Amino acid sequence: MEHFNKPLTTLSIMVLLAPLLMATDPDPLQDFCVADLTATTSVNGYPCQPPSSAGDEFLFSSKIATGGDPTGNANESNVTQLDVNEWPGVNTLGVSMNRVDFAPGGVNPPHVHPRATEVGIVLRGALLVGIIGSNDSGNRYYSKVVRAGETFVIPRGLMHFEFNVGEEAATMVVSFNSQNPGIVFVPQSLFGSNPPIPTPVLVKALRVDTEVVELLKSKFTGGSAAPMNDNFADLCVGEAW
């Protein structure tokens, strides 16, 4: 009876099975999978509606044809989202969009999209787009004033912001390579988390006094945004917009 080398045989089987064990199909397996937003179960997304009930309107949306009022909050900017929750037709397609409207001096505060790269185009006005690199780049700050018709790209996971440096209102439209890119607003996350980050942690990390941390927390509790600094323009003296 022939004897097999068990370790070698086991290794051979694993090599043969590896392509099957690692096989994945990240692409959609059908033309469309219109999200059933009312479903009680989901796995990294939404289940599909039956094709017979989806109709054909899921291919189209007019939601970002107009924007909201950017003067209704302290940041003086308004985000109109068009992710899978607002546009079920993009379910499983790995895309979504936002429209952001800015009043003069309005800002889309420093934030991160943890699940997507962002590509944007300015439709009107002039926006200072700032991107902060990771530790690998020495936390380098990249910036440029992007004007109507010009584009920009934000790598996935990098902190960034947009600030209207013009005297008129500004608008941009951005797209993401995720149906749900997610967003983490840095100031809100640090000072308005629920439950709050312990004050001693922020005092140590930010190297400021307790009173400063408590003041900042008071600006963000309850989901409100901190008022714009009255002297914000003074901080920008010398910048060539």
The predicted-structure confidence for 157-181, as pLDDT tens digits, reads as follows 999 999 999 999 999 999 999 999 9
Is 108 marked as binding a ligand?
Answer: yes
Q: Are 144 and 98 part of one and the same domain?
A: yes
Q: Are 150 and 206 part of one and the same domain?
A: no
Decide if 215 is inside a domain.
Answer: yes
Q: Count structural domains, the chain.
A: 2
Is 5 marked as binding a ligand?
Answer: no
β-bridge mates for residue 146, sequence order: 127
Decide if 235 is inside a domain.
Answer: no
Q: Are 131 and 199 part of one and the same domain?
A: no
Is 214 marked as binding a ligand?
Answer: no
177: domain CATH number is 2.60.120.10
Q: Are 132 and 161 part of one and the same domain?
A: yes
Number of other residues whose CB lies within 10 A of the CB of residue 22? 7
pLDDT digits (tens, 9 = 90+) for 21-76: 554 445 777 888 899 998 887 777 788 888 777 778 888 999 999 999 999 999 99
Q: Give the domain range for residue 96.
A: 58-182
34-48, 123-137, 209-223: which has the minimum mean pLDDT?
34-48
Decide if 94 is inside a domain.
Answer: yes
Is 98 marked as binding a ligand?
Answer: yes
Q: Please report, as a single letter, which amino acid is at residue 165.
A: V
Is 160 marked as binding a ligand?
Answer: yes
Look at residues 43, 39, 121 and name the one whose alpha carbon lies nearest to residue 88: 39
Decide if 47 is inside a domain.
Answer: no
Is 3 marked as binding a ligand?
Answer: no
Q: Is the pLDDT of residue 140 over 50?
A: yes
What are the backbone angles phi and psi of residue 56, rounded to the nearest 5°? Answer: -130, 0
